[in-house]
Amino acid sequence: MEAVLRRHFLAGLSAAAARPGQVNVREQGAAGDGIRLDTKALQQAVDGCAAAGGGVVYFPPGRYLSGTLYLKSNVTLYLERGAVLVGSKNLEDYPVTVAQYRSYTDNYTERSLIYGENLENVGLEGPGVLDGQGAAFKGEYKVRPYMLRMIGCRGVTVSGVTLKDSPMWVQHYLVCENVYLRGITVTSRVNANNDGIDIDSCDRVRIADCDISSGDDAIVLKSTSARACRRVTVTNCVLSTSCNNIKLGTESSGDFKNLAFSNCVMFRRPGARRPISGVSIESVDGSHIDGIVVSNLAMQDVDTPVFIRLGNRGRGLSPPVPGSLANVSISNLVATGALRTCPIAGLPGHPVRGVTLSDINITFQGGEQTAGKREVPEYPEKYPEATMFGLLPAYGLWARHVEGLTLRNVRLRTERADARPALLFDDVAELAGP
């Protein structure tokens, strides 16, 4: 076993392999046959590794059927190539676990395949697979476990692994600090709410080199608590979803500060529904969004390439009060096959402020025959989605209640003739061109 771990460390697959306390799950009694439930043996391996000072819990090739596993500080799970950690199909194998840190996600879940709270230096690594068998679970939120849930943890690394077929969200990081997700593959389209990655009220997060195919949002940033989601970078990812590729703010109780998204490609997988949006930036529950940089994105068959919205759903607020959305830069974006107009929409007296679009090249399908301008409802309380306003009176970019909009080298065109103008502005101040 030590020779195997040493080889992986030297190959750069797992820096954790050099730590003390290496534990092979087979030596703790795990059958690895995919039939017998291995939860007890796997948890014993985690607990023993932690008691020895931390290190690696090693999964050799095999299928390890399990219910909930509770991570411990200074422990990394390493899944060897050919190792599959398989979630049980029996809901009773996932004990109800009420988080000490409360947030709106209490309404969604209380069960997980892998769970950690208030831990330090934990990880999930290796070329192996987590299989949630998500198609086996039917019903509302709480009867569908998450695959991976980390709350209030510091120093979280997930790299190399494949996560497939979650019953609910694939992975949820809530009020965590120093999170590093690299080179992971997500394939999860077997149930509702199959978000690929959920970053929630976290600080200092790096996501890189990931390949995500999800039935719901691919990478989504949330603040389901009052804590801000800040200092997050997402780069070099391949994204395919039937919902939104990169989204922040659907749940926006806390602020969003200093976020950067770059070098990603987005496309529609054969036979899947078209993605709703490429990038959605939203504040609807009183949060303040400030300092968002989006650059170098390529999109194919994404319905709405860009959606920016300041609304007033006001979840948890009495009375609801709009937050703010300011200082957004989107550059070097190329999209083909777009269906719907890109909206940038604030509210009367609460404009979106300081948006710059530069080097944007979008081809829309076009074909709308009606040119007449229609009144677009404000919909301050409506769920924020790129489809929320319906057919808009411009085919390319529609902006309303915006202060400080700069357009540089923005090219919008249609494949078929469209009676609507490319651009339409309503209550837009400080509009600047090239």
The predicted model scores a pTM of: 0.94
> Phi/psi at 104 (nearest 5 deg)?
-65, -20
* Tokens encoding 128: 């192996």
Segment 277-282 mean pLDDT: 98
Q: Which amino acid is at 269?
A: R
Determine the CATH number of domain 2-432.
2.160.20.10
Residue 114 has pLDDT above 70, yes or no: yes
Q: Using omega within 30 degrees of 0 as the cis cutoff, is the peptide bond preceding 305 cis? A: no
285-336 pLDDT, tens digit per residue, is: 999 999 999 999 999 999 999 999 999 999 989 899 999 999 999 999 999 9
* Stretch 384-391: mean pLDDT: 96
Q: Answer whether residue 387 shows pLDDT above 50.
A: yes
Residue 19, pLDDT > 80, answer: no
Query: So what's the pLDDT on residue 324?
Result: 98
Per-residue pLDDT at 371: 72
Token pair of 56 as six digits: 């690696």
| 258: CB partners within 8 A, 6+ apart | 230, 231, 232, 290, 291
Q: Round to whole Å and give the CA distance between 167 and 135.
A: 7
- C-alpha span between 210 and 201 (Å, rounded): 21
| pLDDT level of residue 17 (50, 70, 90 thresholds) | very low
252 closest CA partner among 195, 354, 322:
322
CA distance 325 to 314: 15
pLDDT digits (tens, 9 = 90+) for 396-429: 999 999 999 999 999 999 999 999 999 999 999 9
Q: Given this model, what pLDDT does residue 372 score?
A: 63
pLDDT at 8: 42
Among 208, 286, 211, 275, smallest CA distance to 247 is for 275
- Tell me the pLDDT tens digit for each residue of 141-172: 999 999 999 999 999 999 999 999 999 999 99
Q: How many helices, marked H, and strands, marked E, lie in the chain?
A: 2, 32
Question: What phi and psi values does residue 17 have, to the nearest 5 degrees?
Answer: -65, -20
CA distance 89 to 288: 41
Q: What is the pLDDT of residues 47-70, one digit of tens each?
A: 999 999 999 999 999 999 999 999
Confidence of residue 374 (pLDDT cuts 50, 70, 90): confident
Range with the poorest average pLDDT among 12-26, 323-337, 343-357, 370-384:
12-26
Q: Tell me the longest C-alpha to C-alpha distance in the chain.
A: 73
For position 433, what pLDDT does the model report? 86
Percent of the chain clearing pLDDT 70 (strictly above): 94
Which H/E stretch holds residue 244? strand 244-252
Predicted local confidence at residue 316, as pLDDT: 87
Percent of the chain with pLDDT over 90: 92
Radius of gyration of the chain, Cα coordinates, nearest whole angstrom: 23
Q: Is residue 20 pLDDT above 70, yes or no?
A: no
Beta partners for residue 232, in sequence order: 205, 259
pLDDT number for residue 187: 98
2 has a pLDDT exceeding 80: no
pLDDT score of 21 = 65
Looking at residue 226, its pLDDT comes to: 95
Q: How far is 287 from 335, CA to CA, in rounded Å?
A: 29
- What CA–CA distance (Å, rounded) separates 341 from 303? 8
Q: Over range 8-22, report the average pLDDT.
A: 44
